[in-house]
Structure formats: C-alpha cells, structure tokens
Amino acid sequence: MTTETAHTIAAYVTTASGGKYVRQLCKHWSHKLEVEVEGDAGKVVFPDAVTTMSADEAGIAIAITGQERESVERLTDVVARHIDRFAFREDPLTYDWKWQ
C-alpha cells in the first residue's frame, strides 16, 4: 500500500471499556483475518484495508486506511457495527468519521 494513494478515515469513540472492546474485536476477527493485538491496541488487516485501534481510559481511536476510498468508507460501518455488538450494554456509541 503506497501512502501517496492511500485513503484514511478516523474516529474517536467515547467509551470507558475501549480496551476490552479492542481485544474482543481482534479476537473475533482473528479466525478469518490477520490480526495483531498488544494490550489495548490492535490492528486488523482486511483484504482491501487496514484498521488500527488504540484505546485509552476515555475511548478508542480508530483509523482505517486503504487504496480505494469506497472500501475504506464501507469498513466504517463494519467496524462500528462490530464494536456496537460488544458495547450493547452502553448507550449507542457515537462515531464521528473524518477523512485524514
């Protein structure tokens, strides 16, 4: 993936359980995708994009980078839906995606 043609979209999701959700999501996807997880940070390699997540005490920073803008944008919904499944006890989480 060359950086000059890559598209990145990012969001910060407020939740006190961010580290837990990052670890759960990485474990969930590890059965079908290449995944790296270290503490409260994770990376998931999809066929057409890479998602990185890093949690702190207030939430999760998420970035999705890929060659095709449409693929990156489509993954915002996939990632958000999966996090929301793990966060079902919380009020709906807010994802304010912004192109970088």
Query: Is 57 part of any domain?
Result: yes
How many domains does the chain divide into?
Answer: 1
Contact 23, 12 (CB under 8 A): no
On whether residue 32 sits in a domain, the answer given is yes
Task: Answer whether residue 1 is part of any domain.
Answer: no
Q: What is the pLDDT of residue 91?
A: 84
pLDDT digits (tens, 9 = 90+) for 37-73: 999 999 999 999 999 999 999 999 999 999 999 999 9
| Confidence (pLDDT) at 5 | 81
Q: CA-CA distances (angstroms) from residue 77 to 39, 41, 52, 57, 74?
A: 24, 20, 15, 24, 6
Question: Is the separation of the CB atoms in 79 and 64 below 8 Å?
Answer: yes
Q: Is the pLDDT of residue 99 over 90?
A: yes
Residue 94 lies in a domain: yes
| Length of the chain counted residue by residue | 100
What average pLDDT does the segment 21-46 reach? 97
Would you state the pLDDT for residue 3?
Answer: 46
For residue 66, being part of any structural domain is answered with yes
Whichever domain contains 35, its CATH number is: 3.30.310.50
| pTM of the complete model | 0.93
Q: Supply the range of the domain harboring residue 69.
A: 10-99
